Structure 1
Amino acid sequence: MSHAHSTTDRGPAPAALRRPQRSAAPKRIGIHALLIACALFPALPIVWMASTSFKPNGQVFDWPPKLITSAMNFDSYAAIFADGGKLRFFLNSYVVAGSVTVLTLLVSVLAAYALSRYEFPFKRALNVLIISVQAVPPITLLIPYFGLVVTLGLYDTYGGLILTYMVFTLPYAIIMMTGYFNTLPRELDEAVMVDGAGPLTVLFRILLPISVPGLVSVGVYTFMIAWNEYLFALTLTRTNEMRTVPIGIQLLMGQHSYDWSQIMAMSILGSIPILVLFTFFQRYFLSGMSAGAVKA
């Protein structure tokens, strides 16, 4: 009796034991389905652009729309590669974007090193000025820069585009590289200077090799800005020999008809450099952006 009494007095079993555990599989499947949908949604325009680049112009607006048709071909790409004028657009973009990236990295590294490691008069005012330039909407400077470039004799030249783009890429690059250098301990500089090394030796032999993520993030961002820029490239150039890829795409839009297949093919070709950069340097880009933002 005492044994039976003791077992019945233990009270009701805990709720976790009485209720069957629900499987987490439906919830996990739902989350994955939502993530896939969110990933596919921004990819749809790119997929449609790629599909259209292979279609004859007459099938672009077929209803119902089809991603793949029996008449798909490479004619649009062949027409672009066979046209020296269109290839010139790509050459101009590579020259301008590459030059802007290299010069921006060089100048921003020197400026960021000085701002990070030295104290000098008006340093705070200079920082405020750099941030203020970054905050100015570029479109408000279009007419002043047009007049300045014409006055300097740089209209319709590589130099005019490169110098103009650097005005917009340098503030961001200096801010990011200053923030990245601030994360590096000053003991590195002091240890090398004890052996008689100068500031430039410290910068180029010690700090830059360990600042690759910051350099990559700034370089990718700078190249992307210079490669995709449209408004200043349209305003500061006159001849097709100096036009860049965004302007070349716009020139394919005729007054009465659009060659959609070539427009999309040229857009795909114009997107490849940015996609390649992000694919190969994504890890450095993300780490450099986060490190520079923490201490900027």
Structure 2
Amino acid sequence: MTAVTTTSTIHHPNRAPRHTLKKIALITGLSIGAVFAAAPVLWMISTSLKPNGEVMQTPPQLISGNLNFDAYTTVLTDPGKLRFFVNSYVVALAVTALTLLVAILAAYAFSRYEFPGKRLVNMVIVSVQAVPPITLVIPYFGLMVSLGLYNTYPGLIITHMVFTLPYAIIMMTAYFNTLPRELDEAVKVDGATGWTALWRVLVPISVPGMIAVGVYTFMISWNEYLFALTLTRTDDMRTVPIGIQLLMGQHSYEWNEMMAMSILGSIPVLVLFLVFQRRFIGGLSAGAVKS
């Protein structure tokens, strides 16, 4: 017993320096990663506050002597550029609301009922996520033109939902699977229907999962570029990512305005994440584990 005590006493002081070194190494690594991730954002903010003529000067300067908000003023006072933001909000909010509605209904069916072809439908939903979106551009273009939905909000909304629904259904199904079946069964015993059990019991306690799915869906739709470019023709239907690209002229680029629009376009997603951060992370972690 004495030998064991002596040995532990001898080795104990060495643990503190090792723990400290690991902590320092971890903090150093995280700090380097944070700087690496923040550098492009800081440069984007710096560029948006410079006159366009100073953007490409050599050597580059992070802080210019002629800082101004002219690029932001130009973007926020131009009706054409503001239209890009309106279009993005309309499409992203509609996609988020419809995706959540369909995902909740589908997830409830997958979680609580058995029906023929259930496994096949699940496989189809998962396989959609494995298809590269660029391979679907031409088929969707032809489909939207034939349906008369080219250059319209419904065309963009339906197309975006094709790529947001699979993830939303998978996540909501996993979240519903963590909820005891006794909850909705107790409601049915009292004479209520499955519809009542879904909207009065399961949906209210599934808010963290819905927030996680909603934020993710909004981000996907807000940042989508490929189909927003392919399925729209006129500037009054373009979204923010396309509006930024349109500032790249044939002979000159409006770098400061591009960066200003990028900053303004990042704010909605950033605000959403900051407001719903706890529930977003909680929803992801709860939906990732099947009880």
Question: Partners of 2:265 and 2:50 in 1: how far apart?
Answer: 18
Counterpart for residue 107 of structure 2: 112
Q: Cα deviation per residue 1:90-115 (whole Å; 9 max; x = unaligned)?
A: 00000000000000000010010011
Counterpart for residue 171 of structure 1: 166
Q: What SS class does the counterpart of residue 295 from structure 1 fall into?
A: coil
Which letter does structure 1 place at the counterpart of 2:43? W
Aligned with residue 143 of structure 2, among 136, 148, 154: 148
Structure 1: which 5+ residue stretches go unaligned? 1-9
Is the alpha carbon distance of 1:17 and 1:218 closer, same or farther for their aligned partners in structure 2, counting shifts above 3 Å? Answer: closer
Structure 2 counterparts to residues 49-64 of structure 1, below 5 A = 49-64=44-59
Q: Give aligned-pair identity as a percent.
A: 67
Question: Partners of 2:75 and 2:209 in 1: how far apart?
Answer: 36
Which letter does structure 1 place at the counterpart of 2:126? I
Structure 2 counterparts to residues 59-138 of structure 1, below 5 A = 59-138=54-133
Counterpart for residue 277 of structure 2: 282
Q: What SS class does the counterpart of residue 294 from structure 1 fall into?
A: coil
Structure 2 counterparts to residues 193-208 of structure 1, below 5 A = 193-208=188-203
Question: Partners of 2:13 and 2:113 in 1: how far apart?
Answer: 66
**How many residue pairs are counted as aligned between the two chains?**
285
Quote the offset at 1:19 in angstroms. Answer: 10
Is the alpha carbon distance of 1:15 and 1:177 closer, same or farther for their aligned partners in structure 2, counting shifts above 3 Å? Answer: closer
Question: Partners of 2:42 and 2:12 in 1: how far apart?
Answer: 47
Question: Partners of 1:197 and 1:258 in 2: how far apart?
Answer: 62
Which letter does structure 1 place at the counterpart of 2:188? M
Q: What SS class does the counterpart of residue 289 from structure 2 fall into?
A: helix
Structure exhibiting the larger radius of gyration computed from Cα positions:
1
Quote the offset at 1:31 in angstroms. Answer: 3.1
1:259 aligns with 2:254: yes
Counterpart for residue 237 of structure 1: 232
Q: What SS class does the counterpart of residue 163 from structure 1 fall into?
A: helix
Question: Partners of 2:230 and 2:160 in 1: how far apart?
Answer: 13
Question: Partners of 2:13 and 2:114 in 1: how far apart?
Answer: 67
Is the alpha carbon distance of 1:229 and 1:18 closer, same or farther for their aligned partners in structure 2, counting shifts above 3 Å? Answer: closer
Which letter does structure 1 place at the counterpart of 2:200? R
Structure 2: which 5+ residue stretches go unaligned? none
Counterpart for residue 217 of structure 2: 222
RMSD value, Cα: 1.9
Question: Partners of 2:12 and 2:155 in 1: how far apart?
Answer: 74
Question: Partners of 1:257 and 1:222 in 2: how far apart?
Answer: 34
1:48 aligns with 2:43: yes
Question: Partners of 1:153 and 1:79 in 2: how far apart?
Answer: 35
Q: Cα deviation per residue 1:202-239 (whole Å; 9 max; x = unaligned)?
A: 11111111111110111011101100001100010000
